[in-house]
Amino acid sequence: MAGLAATVADARSLRYDAVVARPRAAGPPGPRHAGLAAALAVAAKPRQGPFRIWLGAGVWREKLVVAAPDVWITGEDRSGTRIRFDAASGLAGPDGYPWGTGGSGTIIVKAPGFHAANLTIENSFDPAALGAEAPHDRQAVALMLAAGSDRTLLARVDILGRQDTLYVNAGRSIFRQCLVAGTVDFVFGAGQAHLSHCEVRSRGPGYIAAPSTNRSSPVGLVFDHCHLTHEPGVAAGSVYLARPWRPTRQFADGLYGDPDAVGMVNYLHCRMEAHIAPAAWTSMTYRDRAGERVALEPGVVRFAERGSTGPGARRQRAQDSWPG
């Protein structure tokens, strides 16, 4: 994973396997493409080693699936190079059916070794802009790490959305000096993710994390030396650190919440502003075998907090809810 840091250090001096830039825009040497989808099609061909893509400044409205291994994307400018789409769970896709949460991602990664640096990945769906026309299902993923993904690394990437921004559902991933912004459950899933020195920005009242970690996995979502911030107008005490997600799955005896989903989240030495709720954790409902909605309480999953600082640290609260 160290290779991406070296790539970013002197990006323009390298030769890339694909250069995606506007016509007549400057860029490093390499075969030119009009969009990322075209570059990813080339990446899918047999090759050895990483497939390096340079992405020039601009707003690239594309919905992408990374199905080839070891794709590395380097942006020209962190805020000025934006991969954006506006799909949401309840909106219809090209086939006329709703996208669903997993299908709504602006980028969906299904292969190992995906790296990205110095750019923005955004789901720009805004239910407020649609008013009464907004769908009931408003999950809108910016980045999804799906089955097949592993060894994912993002460095200095802004990941922007509202509900369900970052869906880390598989594999191992590292996020370094990134920004993740959203409102409800905006870092979630069953994967193993380490967010180091990141800004985690709440755009409204809600919940930061919703892990669905399998009980067999000792690691889920880890926030390490992160800064928990908020946009203007977010009230003090209105954002919970996490709630446990137990996804509904099909079993031989019926459709109900997966009993092996025993979420794990850990906040280590994070600075927390005043928007963090004093209780830190809260429950989340799921459907049991009998078809009833029941609450999964924080005390029966694996939630922990250590070394927190700032006005939202609330020293008087219990520091973890790890079951004994």
The alpha carbon of residue 81 and the mean position of all alpha carbons in its chain are separated, in whole angstroms, by 18
Q: What is the mean pLDDT of residues 170-188?
A: 98
Contact assessment for residue 163 and residue 105, using Cβ atoms and an 8 Å cutoff = no
**Is 23 contained in some domain?**
no
| pLDDT tens figures, 236-258 | 999 999 999 999 999 999 999 99
Strand partners, 295: 285
Token reading at 166: 């970052």
pLDDT at 188 over 60: yes
* Torsion (CA) 8, 186, 226, 303 in degrees, nearest 10: -130
Q: What is the mean pLDDT of residues 287-309?
A: 95
Token reading at 48: 């050895």
**Is 30 contained in some domain?**
no
Stretch among 184-188, 261-265, 311-315 having the lowest mean pLDDT: 311-315
Q: In this predicted structure, what is the pLDDT of residue 12? A: 58
Token reading at 286: 């799921």
pLDDT at 127 over 90: no
- In the residue annotation, 126 being an active-site residue is answered as no
From the list 236, 242, 243, 222, the residue with the least C-alpha distance to 310 is 236
Taking the C-alpha atoms of residue 17 and residue 37, their distance in angstroms, rounded to an integer, is 14
| pLDDT tens figures, 145-163 | 999 999 999 999 999 999 9
**CATH number of the CATH domain containing 175:** 2.160.20.10
**Is 18 contained in some domain?**
no
* Three-state secondary structure call for residue 5: helix
| pLDDT tens figures, 212-224 | 999 999 999 999 9
Q: What is the mean pLDDT of residues 201-227?
A: 97
Q: What is the mean pLDDT of residues 170-184?
A: 98
Stretch among 124-128, 185-189, 316-320 having the lowest mean pLDDT: 316-320
Give the chain's domain count: 1
- In the residue annotation, 185 being an active-site residue is answered as yes
**Is 319 contained in some domain?**
no
Name the percent of the chain lying above pLDDT 90. Answer: 88
Taking the C-alpha atoms of residue 94 and residue 175, their distance in angstroms, rounded to an integer, is 32
Q: Which of 10, 158, 185, 253 is catalytic?
A: 185
Greater model confidence, 317 or 23: 23
Domain containing residue 211: 53-128+136-306
Q: Which of 164, 258, 260, 288 is catalytic?
A: 164
Contact assessment for residue 269 and residue 240, using Cβ atoms and an 8 Å cutoff = no
**Is 174 contained in some domain?**
yes
